Amino acid sequence: MPTIKDADWVLKDIQEVEDEAMKVIRNSTEHNLVLAGPGAGKTELLAQKACFLIETAKCRNKKIIALSFKKDAAKNLQERVNSRLESKYRHKFESTTFDAFCKSIVDRFKSSLPAFYCPSDDYEIFFPNNKDFIAEIKREAVGFEGLTSAELNKLKPSKFEENYLVVPYREETRHTVNGRIRYFVWTHLLKGKSRLSFKMINYLANRIIKKNVFLSNAINSTYEYAFIDEFQDTTSKQYEIFKNIFFGKSIKITAVGDTKQRIMGWAGALPNAFDVFKKDFEVGDHNELVSNRRSLKNLISYQRLMESFMNKTENKTEIIFYKGEGLARLMQFEEVDQEASYIASLIKKWIDEGIEQRDICILSKSVAGQYSQKTISELDMSGVKCRIENEYQELLNEAIVQLVLQLLMFVCNRKSIEGWASTMDLLCNIRGVSRKGDVTRLERELSNFIKANKEIRSDVVDYLKGLLSIFGISELKSYFPQYMNGNGLEHNINTLSKYLEELDIKNNMSNAIDMLNGIKTVPFMTIHKSKGLEFRKVVIVGLEPDAYFGDEEGQIENQKTVFVGFSRAIDEVFMTRCKLRMDNFGNMSRQDFNRIPLITDMLTYCGIEAEDYQG
């Protein structure tokens, strides 16, 4: 494809964008800071900008890197760009997560770390904020440089990673109890076959970036542009890495986000990431996208009112509501049995009216049993499948899992043109064969391989590894940098095989694949996991103080959390609260809604008053 002149370039697969978006798309010489609300088309904006920069040769012989904080966001953006570019140009755009990017740096340059911090080649990823790991530390650290059981018994899973892993060991703190615990924990995790959490990986990556001039120059010579999605959720540690990578470089940055959707303060998100970025990178004016291409008119009006309330706007805008243009309700129940029964009947009604299960989503601040179990059980009795999506979301967005599921689809004779083409592209790249070269032979080889693997004659995990053998496990690890070091590939295959065994893949492979993918299943997830997603119908469960607790700062973030959940909906939102609900300790807890005034007052401000359930 010849280079397109700027004036001749047109949008890909869409008719128009708002003027501010077009300014961002065509800006190739300066940093961009973009504020974009729900449904404003952040992903589409970045996809169009990538196409413009690549097709008009602004990247020259370099690439664009896009960093997201969620795997599904990174995957969606990559797919959006791939669908709009010719295949020979797709290599110029890399969409990955911040964690995966840091991991690739550690995997390639860990030998430059001081010996104390250098992990083993076969390190594994682990998640430290759990009771088993804390028990392990309490047990193993007794006597280490004088640490006592009494000192160690004060350790709690909550905030353990932030206190002892994100904050690294320093020699000058070794005389303190916390300093000795940090020293032990890092030593304990790095010895033998190392264990690293992603926050440890981020810290190690930052050490490498600050010390390694070669890496800094390599990044600058590889990338011409960088996109940062959901910038409002950047933590101070992540921003430090981000700044160390890009500050003072020629790379032009486009940072996109929305202050109203900053709901990761509990995870350390900067309260003023946009202001810090503007100052450090000398960005003048920001661009703001105001359109909402997701929700119907009435839901957009509710969102505008919520924004006015959160911004403490003096003059309330009068809103006109239109029949058939979106509905929002809040219903109050005495207890969860009533709530679950009503939600189940409502969702069954939607499905009977023709709404697909995947177009409905149940959201809550937490998916703990007191918010999810009764509703899932009631739906099951109504013949509607529902599952907690959080545990599947991460796995299904893994590149190696997507590849295995694609191969299984071929085995089931469910071959799509797009799926076959992408698999052939991967096979050609790994084998070093041009698509114009000996493709026919490779296609025949893949077809014969699929035919030879129609039955599972061994353990499921061995069968899945056998399917990948046509590519080569070591070759796949080299191709996908996130699996280059550590046990990530094996861990994901083992987890996938466990799920597929539970779904009886040996007797009905096609059904097992559909069930794993959540086909004909209503998703239940946390509001935090729903960011970037959209559904026709949204149910938000448990707008209550036991879920939305916190100090003044926490209550402001809780308000934004409700806003994020509400703005996932295209045409209807149904919210619930119960006067009585079990707490985390199994005790019945009476809910005092006056303890969450920022949420209740915001809904009242929008004209959404609680309706009492009339059973």
Each residue of 467-498: b (16+ CB within 10 Å) or e?
bbebbeeebbbeebbbbbbbebbbbbbebbbe
User: Tokens 């949204």 identify what position?
Assistant: 538
Rounded to whole angstroms, how far apart are CA atoms 477 and 486? Answer: 10
Query: Would you say 542 is a known binding-site residue?
Result: no
Task: Write the CB contacts of 606 (distance below 8 Å, at least 6 apart in sequence).
Answer: 302, 305, 306, 309, 328
Query: Would you say 565 is a known binding-site residue?
Result: no
The closest of 67, 366, 71 to 230, measured between CA atoms, is 67
Query: Would you say 383 is a known binding-site residue?
Result: no
User: Tokens 């004036």 identify what position?
Assistant: 7
Beta-bridge mates of residue 573: 328, 538
Judge whether 368 and 547 are in contact, CB under 8 Å. no
Q: Where does 503-570 have alpha helices with state H?
A: 509-516, 527-530, 552-566
Query: Would you say 37 is a known binding-site residue?
Result: yes
Query: Would you say 176 is a known binding-site residue?
Result: no
Query: Would you say 150 is a known binding-site residue?
Result: no
**Tokens at 473, concatenated:** 């496990």
Query: Would you say 43 is a known binding-site residue?
Result: yes
Element (H, E) at 276: helix 273-280
Rounded to whole angstroms, how far apart are CA atoms 455 and 134? Answer: 43
Rounded to whole angstroms, how far apart are CA atoms 92 and 111? Answer: 28
Query: Would you say 5 is a known binding-site residue?
Result: no
The closest of 43, 42, 96, 50 to 71, measured between CA atoms, is 96
Judge whether 165 and 132 are in contact, CB under 8 Å. no
The closest of 458, 440, 100, 69 to 231, measured between CA atoms, is 69
Rounded to whole angstroms, how far apart are CA atoms 161 and 267? Answer: 11
Judge whether 49 and 95 are in contact, CB under 8 Å. no
Q: Residues within the annotated binding site?
A: 36-43
Q: Residues within the annotated binding site for ATP?
A: 36-43
